[in-house]
Amino acid sequence: MSKLFFIALFATVVLAQDLPLMPWPANVSRGQGELILNPSFRISSFGGDARLHDAALRLADRLFRETGIPISREFTDVAATLAIIVEEKKTDDESYHLLVDSHQARLTSTGPLGALRGMETLLQLVHIGPSGFSIPAVDIDDQPRFAWRGLSLDVSRHFIPPDAIKRTIDGLAAVKMNVLHWHLSDDQGFRVESKKYPKLQQKGSDGQFYTQAEIREIVAYAAARGVRIVPEFDIPGHATSWFPGYPNLASGTGPYEIVRTGGVLRATMDPAKESTYRFLDGFIGEMAKLFPDPYFHIGGDEVSATGEWSHNPHISAFMKKHKLADFRALQAYFNRRVQKIVAAHHKRMMGWDEILHPDLPKNVVIQSWRGQESLADAARKGYNGILSNGYYLDLMYPASQHYAVDPLKGATAGLSSDERKRILGGEAAMWEELATEENIDVKLWPRLAAVAERFWSLESVADPASMYRRLGPVSHWLETQGLEHLQEIRVMQERLAPDAAPQVAILASILEPMKGYTRHRARKYGSLVPFNRLVDAIPPESDAAREFADETDRAVMRRKLAGWRDNARAVTPKLAANPMLAEIVEVANAIEELCSIGLEALDSHPAPERAQAMLAIIDRDSKPKAEMLIQIAPSIRKIVDPNSMPAVSK
Amino acid sequence: MSKLFFIALFATVVLAQDLPLMPWPANVSRGQGELILNPSFRISSFGGDARLHDAALRLADRLFRETGIPISREFTDVAATLAIIVEEKKTDDESYHLLVDSHQARLTSTGPLGALRGMETLLQLVHIGPSGFSIPAVDIDDQPRFAWRGLSLDVSRHFIPPDAIKRTIDGLAAVKMNVLHWHLSDDQGFRVESKKYPKLQQKGSDGQFYTQAEIREIVAYAAARGVRIVPEFDIPGHATSWFPGYPNLASGTGPYEIVRTGGVLRATMDPAKESTYRFLDGFIGEMAKLFPDPYFHIGGDEVSATGEWSHNPHISAFMKKHKLADFRALQAYFNRRVQKIVAAHHKRMMGWDEILHPDLPKNVVIQSWRGQESLADAARKGYNGILSNGYYLDLMYPASQHYAVDPLKGATAGLSSDERKRILGGEAAMWEELATEENIDVKLWPRLAAVAERFWSLESVADPASMYRRLGPVSHWLETQGLEHLQEIRVMQERLAPDAAPQVAILASILEPMKGYTRHRARKYGSLVPFNRLVDAIPPESDAAREFADETDRAVMRRKLAGWRDNARAVTPKLAANPMLAEIVEVANAIEELCSIGLEALDSHPAPERAQAMLAIIDRDSKPKAEMLIQIAPSIRKIVDPNSMPAVSK
């Protein structure tokens, strides 16, 4: 009793909205007190299946990692500190109820999936309270808004090894996402072992592919965490890597090689040969067994209008014979044939916007890279769809920008109630032209957690300030759960600057990579180019720059500007002496200049002429340097002239 | 040509002794220029075996990790940037020759083992040179001084999961060690799955054991890296964890439970029953198949003189009957019987000092925890031996202390040439009473690299200043090779101080854990006690304190002392508010006090009376606090009084 009294007396009042939960639950209320974690903590588990039992064992290990307190892996029947109670063995229901008081945590759900989701909430709640590691008293009732909450991950442009895939699955599960859409083939690499057509991986992957054993292991790993794996094999375009092994599949004459650069390519699968469909039947049959998910993604995007189809007389003759007016009709024909093959192997076909065509059966699912309008169009025509437009994490936009995109806002807002139900959810997308296995985590995290919240939480949970307040602690939490986004940055920066890593880290903290597709065009990139520069070793979004933009205390602003300026000045000789960082001298000089201008303008309001000169310098320093942007530049512009319009920098 | 000219012109002159190599090679000379690493880097591999081929593939991946430059995994026959040439498929020879100029690196060896060792040297040489990532021109001829260079790792007191074992093996290989001596059973846990006697792991491990599949995988993993695995099952003492499953093996009446605390325990295997030897025959037979190494370690240390043997009339009768005068003779009888079983399963027996007895055949190997005298005694009697005394990494001594211990100095120095050959090498030891899977890497690394140098390099390579100059970069290099010693510290400190991790890191940077066995006695420790305090989240050795002790520039000393003082003062309120860090307030106060005294004494030589008062405070602040020592205290004492003797603090 005295202990409880102590807790009640000294507990900081933590409001529900301060809890570092992401995605934010449907209903949260904060109770009195805390549940203390100590070595006598015990777990009991009732109901559920083997998957739940394994998850509860992992929960014990994860509680240990969060606290350093040994948590027994032997479950008890009585007086458990954490009781997990699941009603049924099987159900798709992801809802759960978590009730924590100072004696016990009770996690209840109708099925194992809900319990898995609730465990993540429980783990996010662990913190150091007034009596040590503890879980605050809460009452949480939660369920997802959308059933389809995914990440589309390209492993063709750069291969991502199995361990990183598993880590990504851990991250998806941690933020309650439930689909990994695995983009397994593209022009730049074919990443799955086929035993039926082994030349696919032998000639199409540079030896970088997943064996079938690895695939099975990853699929099981994901299933154990409540994550489905939807494979994508992109056809008939984006398919060059199939052709070095099987040139007969192509519409051109070859010879074909794995593509080393990016862009939309001309090589295209031949839809006019029966042998193509026989091959696809064999291949899809093999893959349908390997990937148990009911969905099978055939890509279907970006078939080149000026590509091989337009140069092949055999294809022209075929189109004439089948009365196919244009390439769009030809692709629709191809898709119908492929859909029948997919269906024959007991799968539902998915594809990008371009596959939408009235001839296709209504059980086909459309994934929209084009946007809500395209998605609304599909829904009105009776197709289910998911939104990816607005969620392209490879474009290096801030979390808030993706967070503001809603699958049911914009063109989809006007849909009827039945039509709206056809919007199943969304998928973030990560294309790997400019990302590698070394920085995959930091390209995804923590921004992906904000997208996860968009898909799981209520539409009304949309305040970016609240999101950012929680994103910081959640980012650290994700690192404790095994993600490496913070570690990747450190390792890559230390590699670049073994003798000046802390100074380079300060410099880098206000930098961001160029946005959108501008960096793709900045130089000739490709899969054999090293991605080991500073621009590859920084997060997409600068926390320091965002916090500076929100800063109102001029003394703090002064201190920060002086710190960045002094650091930039001090590190410049080391940058100049290091061939890997010589390009950053220009960046450091611009930072020094910008900070000096900011300090000058803070100290005394500049006269109009001086202000004009300052703005000209700011505009120059706002241009990309070493493919990065100095993200405090807009804030400094505001200090100089609160009303001026910034030069658009992309 | 112009490029080469440029390199020659701008290359910093790097002397051979500045190369960050550890262990230091037998012969090194520095050439002119550098070999540039870029995407056209190609590897060729001639001779050797499948193990070598896999190692060369890993080398490509590791070069990628060191540089971010994609390195082709397809080997070439011609014009390779790196040519690996191995003469024979099999040989125990670990010597190699590495010749690097600005065109090519050539790694040659008589057998695959030598090439494995040479690859590590090559990887240590990669750095950012005048033209980017490169390898300096060198000519290195290298071979080990001792054939047995190991780590004895306890996984009983705290279980270490398979991934951490693999990481440790990577680390051993990285510093050219070749033996992992795996201490798999002790009073606190039995860590191997036995299919013949499954109650060993079922009742002796809390579910924390290696399956036979995991063992096989780890053994293969180690073999691929040129590391042997020697299993140890400690009998007849240190064997309590065998008895919950098989109480009949014990000399007492039980009941038995897994031990949760430390120390030398009374429970002992019964050497007077034939059933004990039948059991051991079955068990050792099973393990002999699981562990292919020719050596089998039976422990044999620390049998309690006042334990179960002295309370069992059946054992007294047995001793009388067999004319065994004392327990030492009884254990010798036991060892002879066990040795015959081990030999029958085609293994050579190893044990700790205590097994040494003239009745044992000369092919038994003695591992000495007692020291060179004991080792010399064994060698004179014709036994091979290895030294572990002086290399106990769990005692938290600095690298220099272990580095100064030589297997062939002290009592062994007087041995004849033939006797000296019986000293096969040494093993560092890591006992896990106070270490867990969370901080295993930082307890081992980087200090283990210094011990590795002692075993590999010439006896004359013994300058601690040179060792420390290289240990810093090697420590970072080890982290790039997958070890987590720096990351562990960060993660544990961030867990303790989510809102003040950088400040706590500065505070922690001058702290060290208590030394020797003093911390074991500081409180009642055991396997169920959390090891999640600051003392668990700091390295055994403070680099900052050592550098401060070596500092001669009084301005730098002032700046450092003021920095530590200000940081300690600033962080104190956050420590006080955090129940996991409240014990550190006392430490922070002492740091503040010590730094203030240091600054005062630097500013003006204190009068005798003031100096006395200062020394009294320093002595008080030198006492352990929160089980840690403020490691700058001796340096501050020196500032106050260069001639005074420090109070001994352990």
B495 and A66 within 8 Å at the Cβ level: the answer is yes
Is the separation of the CB atoms in B237 and B250 below 8 Å?
no
Q: Could you tell me if residue B468 is inside a domain?
A: no
A498 and B131 within 8 Å at the Cβ level: the answer is no
pLDDT in tens, A40-78: 999 999 888 899 999 999 999 999 999 999 999 888 877
Residues A267 and A296 in one domain: yes
Q: Which of A58, A580, A581, A583 to mutate to test the interface with B (most CBs of B within 10 A)?
A: A580
Phi, psi of B568 (to 5 degrees): -60, -40
In A, minimum Cα distance to B502 occurs at A502
Residue type, B561: L
A8, pLDDT greater than 60: no
Beta pairing, strands A628-630 & A511-513: antiparallel
Is the separation of the CB atoms in A385 and A423 below 8 Å?
yes
Residues B329 and B386 in one domain: yes
Residues B138 and B157 in one domain: no
A169, pLDDT greater than 80: yes
Q: Could you tell me if residue A292 is inside a domain?
A: yes
Half-sphere exposure of A477 (CA within 13 A, CB side): 22
Q: Which of B37, B217, B493, B532 to mutate to test the interface with A (most CBs of A within 10 A)?
A: B532
A532 and B39 within 8 Å at the Cβ level: the answer is no
**How far is A355 from A376, CA to CA, in rounded Å?**
15
Residue type, A308: E
The last residue of one of the domains, among B446, B461, B476, is B461
- CATH at residue B301: 3.20.20.80
Does residue A634 belong to the interface with chain B, where contact is any CB pair within 8 Å? no
Q: Say which residue, A570 or A2, is predicted with more confidence.
A: A570
3-state class (DSSP) for residue B131: coil
Task: Identify the band that residue A7 occupies on the pLDDT scale cut at 50, 70 and 90.
Answer: very low
Does residue A286 belong to the interface with chain B, where contact is any CB pair within 8 Å? no
Task: Identify the band that residue B61 occupies on the pLDDT scale cut at 50, 70 and 90.
Answer: very high
Which one from B217, B302, B479, B600 is the annotated catalytic residue?
B302
Task: Identify the band that residue B312 occupies on the pLDDT scale cut at 50, 70 and 90.
Answer: very high
Residue A646 has a pLDDT of: 57
Q: How far is B173 from chain A (nearest CA, A)?
A: 21
Beta pairing, strands B82-86 & B43-46: parallel
What would the mean pLDDT of B592-613 be, rounded to a whole number?
Answer: 95
pLDDT in tens, B222-234: 999 999 999 999 9
Q: Which of B125, B491, B583 to mutate to test the interface with A (most CBs of A within 10 A)?
A: B491
Does residue A498 belong to the interface with chain B, where contact is any CB pair within 8 Å? yes
Q: Could you tell me if residue A429 is inside a domain?
A: yes
> Computed from CA positions of residues B524, B527, B529, B531, in that sequence, does the dihedral angle turn out positive or negative?
positive
A476 and B492 within 8 Å at the Cβ level: the answer is no
- Tell me the sheet residues that pair with A100: A105, A138
Beta carbons within 8 Å of B491's beta carbon, 6+ residues apart = A479, A480, B438
Which one from A302, A373, A494, A600 is the annotated catalytic residue?
A302
What would the mean pLDDT of A445-456 be, rounded to a whole number?
Answer: 98
Is the separation of the CB atoms in B151 and B165 below 8 Å?
no
Across the A/B interface, how many CB contacts are shorter than 8 Å?
95
Task: Identify the band that residue B152 occupies on the pLDDT scale cut at 50, 70 and 90.
Answer: very high
| CA angle B421–B426–B430, rounded 5-degree value | 165
Residue B167 has a pLDDT of: 98
> Computed from CA positions of residues A499, A502, A507, A510, in that sequence, does the dihedral angle turn out positive or negative?
positive
**How far is A306 from A319, CA to CA, in rounded Å?**
16
Is the separation of the CB atoms in A217 and A162 below 8 Å?
yes
List chain B residues with CB under 8 Å of A495.
Answer: 66-68, 480
Task: Identify the band that residue B646 occupies on the pLDDT scale cut at 50, 70 and 90.
Answer: low
Q: Say which residue, B48 or A223, is predicted with more confidence.
A: A223
Helices then strands, counting H and E runs in chain B, come out as: 23, 18
Residue A15 has a pLDDT of: 67
% of chain A with per-residue pLDDT over 90: 89
B473 and A498 within 8 Å at the Cβ level: the answer is yes
pLDDT in tens, A499-553: 999 999 999 999 999 999 999 999 999 888 999 999 999 999 999 999 999 999 9
Element at B611 (helix H, strand E): helix B608-621
Beta pairing, strands B189-190 & B179-186: antiparallel
Residues A401 and A526 in one domain: no
Q: Which of B34, B40, B580, B584 to mutate to test the interface with A (most CBs of A within 10 A)?
A: B580
Residue A645 has a pLDDT of: 64
B530, pLDDT greater than 70: yes
List chain B residues with CB under 8 Å of A487.
Answer: 487
Q: Could you tell me if residue B636 is inside a domain?
A: yes
Does residue B608 belong to the interface with chain A, where contact is any CB pair within 8 Å? no
Tokens of B352: 């700790």
Residues B266 and B384 in one domain: yes
**Which of left, alpha, beta for A482 (phi over 0: left; psi -120 to 50: alpha)?**
left
The last residue of one of the domains, among B142, B174, B196, is B142
Residue A4 has a pLDDT of: 40
Residues A101 and A176 in one domain: no
Residues B452 and B514 in one domain: no
> Which of the residue ranges A158-167, A394-403, B302-311, B335-344 would you say has the lowest mean pLDDT?
B302-311
* Average pLDDT over all residues of chain A: 94
Q: How far is A556 from chain B (nearest CA, A)?
A: 17
Q: How far is A457 from chain B (nearest CA, A)?
A: 26
% of chain B with per-residue pLDDT over 70: 96
Tokens of B470: 């290289």
Phi, psi of B35 (to 5 degrees): -95, 115
| HEC assignment per residue over A427-484 | EEEECCCCCCCCCHHHHHCCHHHHHHHHHHCCCCCCCHHHHHHHHHHHHHHHHHCCCC
What ipTM score was computed for the predicted complex, to two decimals? 0.93
Those of residues 138-197 in B touching chain A at CB distance below 8 A are none
List chain B residues with CB under 8 Å of A63.
Answer: none
**How far is A7 from A1, CA to CA, in rounded Å?**
10
Does residue A128 belong to the interface with chain B, where contact is any CB pair within 8 Å? yes
Does residue A528 belong to the interface with chain B, where contact is any CB pair within 8 Å? yes
Residues B209 and B134 in one domain: no
Residue A1 has a pLDDT of: 37
Which residue in B207, B480, B532 is closest to A495 by CB distance? B480
> Which of the residue ranges A444-453, A583-592, B641-650 would you say has the lowest mean pLDDT?
B641-650
The last residue of one of the domains, among A461, A494, A519, is A461
Is the separation of the CB atoms in A20 and A121 below 8 Å?
no
A207 and B73 within 8 Å at the Cβ level: the answer is yes
**How far is B542 from B564, CA to CA, in rounded Å?**
14
Does residue B494 belong to the interface with chain A, where contact is any CB pair within 8 Å? yes
- What ranges make up the beta strands (E) of B455-611? 511-513
In B, minimum Cα distance to A537 occurs at B68
| CA angle B500–B505–B507, rounded 5-degree value | 95
Does residue B68 belong to the interface with chain A, where contact is any CB pair within 8 Å? yes
Q: Could you tell me if residue A481 is inside a domain?
A: no
What would the mean pLDDT of A204-222 be, rounded to a whole number?
Answer: 97
Long-range contacts of residues A446-449, Cβ cutoff 8 Å, at least 24 apart: A446/A399, A446/A471, A446/A474, A446/A475, A446/A478, A446/A485, A447/A393, A447/A398, A447/A399, A447/A402, A447/A540, A447/A541, A448/A151, A448/A171, A448/A172, A448/A175, A448/A177, A448/A393, A449/A22, A449/A23, A449/A175, A449/A474, A449/A475, A449/A478
A13, pLDDT greater than 80: no
Q: Could you tell me if residue B268 is inside a domain?
A: yes
- CATH at residue B120: 3.30.379.10
**How far is B388 from B385, CA to CA, in rounded Å?**
10
B479 and A491 within 8 Å at the Cβ level: the answer is yes
pLDDT in tens, A329-367: 999 999 999 999 999 999 999 999 989 988 899 999 999
Element at B317 (helix H, strand E): helix B313-321
- Nearest Cα neighbor of B116 from B99, B138, B101, B94 is B94
Task: Identify the band that residue B12 occupies on the pLDDT scale cut at 50, 70 and 90.
Answer: very low
List chain B residues with CB under 8 Å of A438.
Answer: 65, 68
B530 and A39 within 8 Å at the Cβ level: the answer is yes
Does residue B127 belong to the interface with chain A, where contact is any CB pair within 8 Å? yes
3-state class (DSSP) for residue A31: strand
B68 and A527 within 8 Å at the Cβ level: the answer is no
B579 and A530 within 8 Å at the Cβ level: the answer is no
Q: Which of A18, A74, A128, A208 to mutate to test the interface with B (most CBs of B within 10 A)?
A: A128
- Chain position carrying tokens 């081990």: B342
**How far is B595 from B565, CA to CA, in rounded Å?**
6
Does residue A133 belong to the interface with chain B, where contact is any CB pair within 8 Å? yes
B70 and A528 within 8 Å at the Cβ level: the answer is yes
A69 and B436 within 8 Å at the Cβ level: the answer is no
3-state class (DSSP) for residue A266: coil
Q: Could you tell me if residue A198 is inside a domain?
A: yes
> Computed from CA positions of residues B634, B637, B643, B644, in that sequence, does the dihedral angle turn out positive or negative?
negative
Residue A650 has a pLDDT of: 40
Q: Which residues form the domain of A520?
A: 486-640
Which residue in A131, A480, A494 is closest to B579 by CB distance? A131
Does residue A532 belong to the interface with chain B, where contact is any CB pair within 8 Å? yes
Q: Could you tell me if residue A282 is inside a domain?
A: yes
B133 and A580 within 8 Å at the Cβ level: the answer is yes
Residues A124 and A236 in one domain: no
The secondary structure of residue A189, as a DSSP letter, is: E
- What ranges make up the beta strands (E) of B400-521? 423-430, 511-513
Task: State pTM to two decimals.
Answer: 0.94
Residue B5 has a pLDDT of: 40
Residues A137 and A154 in one domain: no
Tokens of A96: 């759960």
Which residue in A70, A128, A479 is closest to B580 by CB distance? A128
Does residue A130 belong to the interface with chain B, where contact is any CB pair within 8 Å? yes
pLDDT in tens, B229-256: 999 999 999 999 999 999 999 999 989 9
Which residue in A67, A68, A487 is closest to B487 by CB distance? A487
% of chain B with per-residue pLDDT over 90: 89
Number of domains in chain B: 3
Residue type, B54: D
Does residue A9 belong to the interface with chain B, where contact is any CB pair within 8 Å? no
Residue B645 has a pLDDT of: 64
List chain A residues with CB under 8 Å of B438.
Answer: 65, 68
Is the separation of the CB atoms in B169 and B220 below 8 Å?
no
Residues B359 and B505 in one domain: no
Does residue B476 belong to the interface with chain A, where contact is any CB pair within 8 Å? yes
pLDDT in tens, B447-504: 999 999 999 999 999 999 999 999 999 999 999 999 999 999 999 999 999 999 999 9
Specify whether A547 is catalytic: no
Residues A450 and A523 in one domain: no
B207 and A73 within 8 Å at the Cβ level: the answer is yes
Residue A643 has a pLDDT of: 81
**How far is A601 from A594, CA to CA, in rounded Å?**
11
- Annotate B149-215 with DSSP letters as a single string: EEEEEE-SSS---HHHHHHHHHHHHHTT--EEEEEEEETTEE-B--SSSTHHHHHHSTT--B-HHHH
In A, minimum Cα distance to B527 occurs at A70
What would the mean pLDDT of B80-85 be, rounded to a whole number?
Answer: 95
Q: Which residues of B192-219 are buried (b: 16+ CB within 10 A; e: fewer)?
A: bbbeebeebbebbbbebbbeeebbeebb
Does residue B9 belong to the interface with chain A, where contact is any CB pair within 8 Å? no
